[in-house]
Amino acid sequence: MGGALAHADALYNLARWLAHDPIEAEDLVQETFTRALAAAHQFEAGSNLRAWLFRILRNTYLDSRRRSKAEAAELQAETVDEIGPADLETVDESQSTQIRAVVADEVAQAVRALPEHWRTVVILELEGLTESEMASVLGCAEGTVKSRLSRARAVLRERLAPHRP
């Protein structure tokens, strides 16, 4: 089970999207590692450690959600440097930063507005998991993952259509 800490950032990213709260996300990651250590004897050598950890994190999140009905705090807007119109070179740097922040916020809002099961597959895909790995994490068939991704992408395309060139 060596190398589990190498996945800490990816686990935190998923936890942050699920929980909408950076402090709760940190707690989820910590609880994930605690549960992983306690269940280390169940990990099959040669299997996908990253997918196993993502599954533990997701189950930990779902467990905490079942225990507490209270909603998590809103996720603050994040700036994604790579998102913005193709012609950003013609806009001065301060305007570029403002445009990126607005577009990034709208993308983040569109993803947050997705149902949890769609949002989760989108985030797992962004983390580089294959459909097979996502199916393992989510405990469902690959066809279900493909369907969820397809539907989530369609909704995101529709909501973000005004930003397309």
| Any domain includes 76 | no
Domain extent, residue 149, equals 88-163
Pair 157, 92 in one domain: yes
Assigned token pair, 77: 């807007």
Mean pLDDT of 33-47: 84
CATH number at residue 14: 1.10.1740.10
CATH number at residue 101: 1.10.10.10
Give exposure, 24-53, as e/b (b: 16+ Cβ within 10 Å): bbeebbebbbebbeeeeeebeeeebbbbbb
pTM: 0.55
Pair 92, 43 in one domain: no
- Give me the half-sphere count of Cα atoms (radius 13 Å) on the Cβ side of residue 146: 4
The residue with tokens 């990253």 is: 50
Assigned token pair, 32: 């994930």
Taking only Cα atoms into account, the Rg of the chain, rounded to an integer number of angstroms, comes to 17
pLDDT digits (tens, 9 = 90+) for 67-88: 764 433 333 333 334 444 444 4
Listed in sequence order, the residues at least 6 apart from 125 whose beta carbon sits closer than 8 Å to its beta carbon are 134, 149
